[in-house]
Structure formats: C-alpha cells, structure tokens
Amino acid sequence: MPKIAIYDTTLRDGTQGEGVSFSAEEKLKVARKLDAFGVAYIEGGWPGSNPKDVEFFELAKKVGFETSKLTAFGSTRRANLTAAEDPQILKLIEAETPTVTLFGKSWDMHVTEVFRISLDENLEMIYDSIKYLVDNGREAIFDAEHFFDGYKRNPKYALSALDAAARAGAAVLSLCDTNGGTLPSEVADVVRVVVDRHPNISVAMHAHNDSGLAIANSVAAAQNGATQVQGTINGYGERCGNANTCAIIPILELKLGMKCVPDGALKNLTALSRWLDEIANRIPDYAMPFVGASAFAHKAGVHVDAVTKNPTTYEHVDPAEVGNRRRFLISELAGSSSVVQKARKYDIDLGKKSPEVKAVLNRVVQLEHQGYSFEDAEASFELLLKKAMGQYEKLFELVGFRLIVEKRGPQEAPITEATLKIAVDGVEAFTVAEGDGPVHALDNALRLALKQFYSYELDGIRLSDYKVRVVNSGEGTAARVRTIIESRDATDSWSTVGVSTNIIEASWHALADSVEYGLLRQK
C-alpha cells in the first residue's frame, strides 16, 4: 500500500483557531494521545515564541514517543543574522526535537513587500537556515508559506524557494495553501510539477479551509504524488481552520488504499476526535464526516427501513471502521422501522405492525408538535417506549416545588433556594437546598430527597450538560423552551428533554427524567 505520513499540527496551527487553547500540561496530554494513535509527526509549537511552548518542550524531553516524531516549528533566520546567530533558530536546536519545521517565504510579493528584502536574500535565508538544522543533526521540513499563491504569480521564484531548501538538505518540502483559496485541480497540477522536479524528496501538503476545500486539496495532493499530509484533529485552525485529518485519514485509507496510521488505529479515530473536543472545551460538530454523532444517523423512515436491510443503501462506509456507530433517530418523520430498531437497542422486540409501535409514533408526533425533540434525548424516548409497553416503573412522584431567588446587593451573587416535596410509594420526603441557580438548586433538593430511598444508586449519577433552546421565538418571552439535560455515571451518558412555557418547569421535566433513568439503569 502507498504510505502517507500524517503530520499533526493541532498543538501549533490548531491553537491559532478562535477559542482553542491548551496549557502546557494539556499539550503534553494531547501529544501522548496523538502518539498512541499513530501519527507520524506531532508539531508541538514554536519554541521561544511564548512561555507555554517553552515549558511544553521542556516537559516533552522527559517523554519517550513511540510512533511519532516530535517536531518544533519556527521561521527562517532574520535577514541581518546568520542562522548560527539567530536566537530563535538556536531555540529550535535547544528544544532537542528530532525534526524541525521551518517556514519561509515562497511568494515574491511577501518577500519584497513584507520582508522588504531582495528575492536572492530570501533564498539565502532559506538555504542557510535549513543547512544549519541539518548540520546539527535535525530532520528539516521546509514549509513554503503561500506557495500556491506564489506559484500563480511567479512560478519560477516559488520553485526556486523549494530548490534552495532542497540544496540545503531538507527532507520534506511542504506546499502551503496558506490563504486557503486554491482549487483541487490547481493543487493536483502544481504537486505533479514539484514531485517531478524533486523525485527524491518527500512532498507534503498543508491546506487551509477558507474555501471549504482543505480536505479535497489534501486528498488531491496525495493522489498526485505527495507523501505527507499536514492537518489538525477536527480541523482546528486559524480563520476557517486547517485540513481536518479526521476526514482525510479515512478517505486515504478506506477509499484510496493508502496507509496513514498503524493497523487498528482507524477504529480509535472517533474517540480521539471527541476526546480532543473535550480537552479543548469545544462543542463537537455533530455533522463532521466519519466521526460526528450524526455521520451515520438515520431519521427518515424510508432510510431506516433500507439501512436495516442493507446498510450500504445509505452509508458509504461501515461506521465501525472509524469507531463510530449507526443511530436511528426518532421524530415525526420516523416510520415504524425506526421505532422497531430503536426498541431492539433496549432489548424490546416489536413487530412493525404492533399497536405499541403505532401508539409510540402517535405520541412522538404529538410531543414534537409541542416542541419536544427526541434526537438528542434518547433516554426520554426509552422511558416513553417503556410506558407504551407497560414496562415502566415510576420511582417517585412530584408533590410540589417552590423556588426563591434573592439578590441582596449589586455586588452579591443571587442566592437560589429550592423547596421540594416528592413521594415514593406513598411516603413523602420534604427537602430544602441551595444552588448556583434554579436548576442546580432543584437538582440538589431532589438528590437530598431521593437519598432517603435510593442512596447507593444516586452516588454515581451526575449532571454533565444543560442546554436551553427557545422553540417558538415569535412569542417572545412567552415562548416555549426546550431543555436538554445530559447526565452520566461511571460507564455511560444519557440525555433527557423537557418542554414548557416556563423554563423552570421544562428543566424539572428533563431533570426528573434524567435522574429517574439513571436510577432505573442501576436497578
């Protein structure tokens, strides 16, 4: 199989994306994870550019990476210094990474209008910097910044920048679509030119997504002779992001037969994607190809019926190959096949024409008309299904609750107090609890009440996410709201939904379902 080296720049280029930031310790965690996954290179950052990256490379010296080469990133030397005199070049050497990536100008406009030096002087900066790294025992990668824009304006000079790096001993020539405006057909043509010109040096593609083509451009480069692809997990990066390796890797492996990661690693791709979103504190993109939660989710009844008979009718790859899973969504668009397949997940065997299926579909249609959505609230749907089947066990009844929110001064945070009364098998429990807000206070009060009856089962259940959405915004402050609560225990997570014109009542319905579902799981 042809091999494509995956060069991961999540820790450097990825952190230039809006809202993406890692501490030095978090960067080390990510680097370990990428090494375990099996990328060829991990670009850790720019030594000397900031204290965090300095700390990261010091920490990384104590780590033995098994499959990946840790890489330091920097620029070619300054115009008025030799490479041996340039402090930032020396910082790259001090990082003690086996590989160093240097970016340099290949677009003549940048040389004359940004650097304001001669074209020949820029070529000498590239040559001197790369040679210094090679002479100091480093594998040198040359990132030709703005290469494709430079090639369009002055192909001879853009290629001469690569030639200078090659003469100095660069192991890889990376062609950067820095502005993200190049088309796949243009990438294919230019990559072939460079590969033919430098047949003994690896050619890499570094694509940005400003035109939504970073994945396509990276694949086009690999198809036309590039042997390294640079990108980030989940497409993190400046402006519109970098090339998303979570799509590039499965495309190259599953569709083009190109080897990118070790055997078996591809099945860890979805877990890696979601883990990184968690570390970065970002909301996962459900619609992301291959690894998104919706990548293999089927909603229309016709689609569900077809997929149950033959998955290839609506799936281009087996979700298990990338560590993802098939999902059948329940909505007013669902047919009986959707309900039957969803029921099987809960070990409930239903026939497509059974009265319970019709009853469930009718109830879903009614509730969704009110603003409910079960796509992100599968636990609520499971409870609804068990009610229709007569398999539902009510664990507690709400007798009533009251909330007081008190603001005592302009500088003081509001105090929220919840008073709650529930009943379990006719036995009432009355509790009072405070919280950071109404939902937190209700959650605390409910737990206090239930501990009198289910103390052990409650210990491992915690609320992990809470979302609110206005259903009919045209009604203004009188609109219905939908709340989604996600909870988890030691082994799994689940989501529940509540809808009301009163946000507290909507939250209570979702909270009660969530806690009840968790208790039923443990029972």
Catalytic residues: 303
Task: Identify whether the C-beta of residue 71 lies closer than 8 Å to the C-beta of residue 141.
Answer: yes
CA distances from 255 to 97, 219, 272, 479 (A): 34, 11, 21, 48
- What is residue 343's three-state secondary structure? helix
Determine the Cα–Cα distance for residues 208 and 236; give it in Å rounded to an integer: 10
Cα separation, 151 vs 144, whole angstroms? 11
Judging by DSSP bridges, how do beta strands 228-231 and 5-8 pair with one another? parallel
CB 9 within 8 A of CB 242: yes
**Rounded CA separation 250/268 (Å):** 11
Q: How far apart are CA 450 and CA 420, in angstroms?
A: 11
Residue 230 CA: distances (Å) to CA of 5, 10, 237, 292: 8, 10, 12, 21
Q: CB count, 10 Å around CB of 34?
A: 25
Neighbours of 371 (CB within 10 A): 20
- DSSP annotation of 286: T
Structure tokens at 134: 């090679």
Dihedral angle computed from the Cα positions of residues 174, 175, 178 and 181, in that order, rounded to the nearest 10 degrees: -150
Q: Minimal CA–CA distance to 298: which of 270, 349, 338? A: 338
Name the nearest CA neighbour of 128 among 170, 77, 93. Answer: 77
485 forms bridges with which residues in the sheet?
Answer: 466, 496
By three-state DSSP, how is residue 405 classified? strand
Structure tokens at 351: 């026939």
Angle, helices 378-389 vs 503-522, to 10°: value is 70
Cα radius of gyration rounded to whole Å, the chain? 28
